[in-house]
Amino acid sequence: MSGIEAMKTIKLGMCGLGTVGSGTVNLFAQSGGAVNRRAGATLEIAHIGARRDNPLCDTSNIRVSRDIFAVVDDPEIDIVMELVGGTTVAKEIVERAIRAGKHVVTANKALIAEFGTELFELASEHGVALRYEAAVAGGIPIIKALREGLAGNEINWLAGIINGTTNFILTEMGSAKRAFADVLAEAQALGYAEADPTFDVEGIDAAHKLVILAAIAFGIPLNKNAVYTEGVTRITPADLAFAEELGYRIKHLGIAKLTESGVNLRVHPTLVPQSQLLSRVDGVENAVLIDGSAVGPTLYCGAGAGAAPTASAVVADVVDIARELVADQLPQVPALGVDPESIRPLELVSMDEVVTPWYLRLNVYDKAGVMSRLSSILSDHGISIEALIQKPPVRGEATVAVVILTNPAQQANLMSAVAQMEALESTTADIMCIRVENFKA
Among left, alpha and beta (phi > 0; psi -120 to 50; other), residue 278 is alpha
SS3 content of the chain, % helix, strand, coil (to 5): 40, 25, 35
Instruction: Find out whether 241 and 272 touch, Cβ atoms under 8 Å.
Output: no
Give the largest Cα separation in the chain, rounded. Answer: 90
- Look at residue 166 in the predicted model and tell me its pLDDT: 97
Percent of the chain scoring above 70 in pLDDT: 99
pTM: 0.95
Q: Which fold has domain 352-436?
A: Alpha-Beta Plaits (3.30.70)
Say if residue 2's pLDDT is above 70: no
Give the whole-angstrom CA distance, residue 178 versus residue 185. Answer: 11
Helix (H, G, I), strand (E, B) or coil at 73: helix
Q: Which fold has domain 3-138+307-342?
A: Rossmann fold (3.40.50)
Provide the pLDDT confidence category of residue 30 given band limits of 50, 70 and 90: very high
Say if residue 3's pLDDT is above 50: no
Dump pLDDT digits (tens) for 266-287. Answer: 999 999 999 999 999 999 999 9
- Look at residue 241 in the predicted model and tell me its pLDDT: 97
Give the whole-angstrom CA distance, residue 176 versus residue 245. Answer: 16
- Look at residue 1 in the predicted model and tell me its pLDDT: 41
Instruction: Find out whether 176 and 242 touch, Cβ atoms under 8 Å.
Output: no
Provide the pLDDT confidence category of residue 12 given band limits of 50, 70 and 90: very high
Angle of helix 164-176 relative to helix 180-189, nearest 10 degrees, comes to 130
* Mean pLDDT across the chain: 95
Query: Are 3-138+307-342 and 352-436 in the same CATH fold?
Result: no
Classify domain 142-303 by CATH architecture: 2-Layer Sandwich (3.30)
Say if residue 100's pLDDT is above 60: yes
DSSP structural state of residue 190: T
Which residue out of 91, 102, 109, 209 is catalytically annotated? 209
* Closest residue by Cα to residue 336 from 325, 349, 346: 346
| The residue type at 299 | L
Minimum mean pLDDT range among 8-22, 324-338, 378-392, 401-415: 324-338
- Look at residue 7 in the predicted model and tell me its pLDDT: 85
Report H helices in 103-203: 109-125, 142-144, 164-176, 180-189, 198-201
Dump pLDDT digits (tens) for 164-185. Answer: 999 999 999 999 999 999 999 9
- Is 367 considered catalytic here? no
In the chain, where the domains are located:
3-138+307-342, 142-303, 352-436
What mean pLDDT do residues 56-75 have?
A: 97
- Quick one: which H or E segment has residue 72? helix 69-73
Provide the pLDDT confidence category of residue 296 given band limits of 50, 70 and 90: very high
Give the whole-angstrom CA distance, residue 175 versus residue 284. Answer: 14
* Closest residue by Cα to residue 236 from 441, 429, 101, 22: 429
Instruction: Find out whether 255 and 270 touch, Cβ atoms under 8 Å.
Output: yes
What mean pLDDT do residues 399-408 have?
A: 96
What mean pLDDT do residues 255-272 have?
A: 96
Instruction: Find out whether 216 and 336 touch, Cβ atoms under 8 Å.
Output: yes
Say if residue 441's pLDDT is above 70: no
DSSP string for residues in 240-303: HHHHHHTTEEEEEEEEEEEETTEEEEEEEEEEEETTSGGGG--TTEEEEEEEETTTEEEEEEEE
